[in-house]
Structure 1
Amino acid sequence: MTDESDEITRLRRLKAPSLAEMEVMAEAAFARLPRRFRAMCGNLVIRVEDFPEPEVLDEMEAETEFDLLGLFRGIGLAQGGDAVPFAMPNMIHLYRRPILDYWAEHDEMLGRLVTHVLIHEIGHHFGLSDDDMERVETEAGGN
């Protein structure tokens, strides 16, 4: 009975990661990605926000603020990002509350979900297929 009560106590102490904690998770996930995949992003900036801005929701035609888990903004090296003077850095926005909502409804580890969202936001921006992105996820491991 002690093991069960210890587990219940441990679960009661769990809390959702803060914005800063999720940003650390995302940076660690990005660092685990294959070098060639990270190189496509240039000097990527990862920002974690609770929700997308209303303008983003409108632009993406989202029905609710929970519809977007992440968003890639920028110009990749494949699109001539090196040649654009004074261009803003490539940026990934991860939306904490929608990610946590998705996580709560699915049987998936949070670290693996953050890795998945990162890979898919980068991959879709660069036109990678789902099979390509799945291979990157496998190489990255995730947790």
Structure 2
Amino acid sequence: MSDRSHERAPSLAEIEAIAEEAFASLPHAFRRLCAGVRIQVDDFPDDATLDEMNCESEFDLLGLFRGVGLAQSGETTTGQMPNAVWLYRRPLLDYWAEHDETLGHLVTHVLIHEIGHHFGLSDDDMARIEAQADA
């Protein structure tokens, strides 16, 4: 584990910039699947989300996709919010502090998995996309 004791925790805006850069590094075909997806960064999930996801702690959830997946893409309803991935800064930073990987890699991993699971991709598909993003 690396020593990060002298580093300052990235702000919400800095995590959002890391996420935008991570998203831009994803393979074009994957990004095309989620055209128009919005990336939102908050410190923690709200109480309703924690309840909905059956979380025991506000640190249990690193990210969440909200929106309409490919299987339902033709079913739009009035007032429907745009597809979005929420990244939760404090849980991400907590996880990052305990593991030996870069914050950029962690954010990329969470983005791929939140979008990928929602669009019905397998873990193998997501591992390939992640490997392409790392290349």
| TM-score, length-scaled by structure 1 | 0.85
Give 1 or 2: higher helix fraction: 1
Amino acid at match of 1:107: D
Q: 2:11 aligns with which of 18, 28, 32?
A: 18
> Which residue in the other structure is 2:55 paired with?
62
Q: For the aligned residues, what is the CA RMSD? A: 1.9
Residues in 1 aligned to 2:99 and 2:24: alpha-carbon distance in whole angstroms: 25
Provide structure 1 residue ranges, at least 5 long, that are not aligned to the other structure. Answer: 1-7
Partner of 2:68: 75
Aligned length: 132
Which residue in 1 is equivalent to 2:134? Answer: 141
Q: Distance in 1 between matches of 2:87 and 2:73?
A: 25
State the Cα deviation string for residues 80-116 of structure 1 (Å, max 9, x = none): 25x6265321000000000000001111111000000
**Deviation for aligned residue 1:141:** 1.1
TM-score normalised over the length of structure 2: 0.90
| 1:36 match | 29
Of structures 1 and 2, the larger Rg is shown by: 1
- Work out the percentage of aligned pairs sharing the same amino acid: 65
Q: Distance in 1 between matches of 2:70 and 2:87?
A: 21
Secondary structure of the structure 2 residue equivalent to 1:46:
strand
Matching of residue 84 in structure 1 with residue 84 in structure 2: no
In structure 2, do the counterparts of structure 1 residues 34 and 115 end up closer, same or farther at CA, with 3 Å as the change threshold?
same
Q: Secondary structure at the match of 1:113?
A: helix
Contact 2:44 2:88 in 1 (8 A): yes
The corresponding residue for 1:27 is 20
- Distance in 1 (CA, whole Å) between partners of 2:96 and 2:66 is 24
Unaligned runs of 5+ in 2: none
Q: Which residue of 2 aligns with 1:3?
A: none
What is the alpha-carbon distance in structure 2 between the residues aligned to residue 80 and residue 26 of structure 1?
24
**Greater RCO, 1 or 2 (C-alpha within 8 Å, sep 6+):** 2
Shift, 1:129, TM fit? 1.0
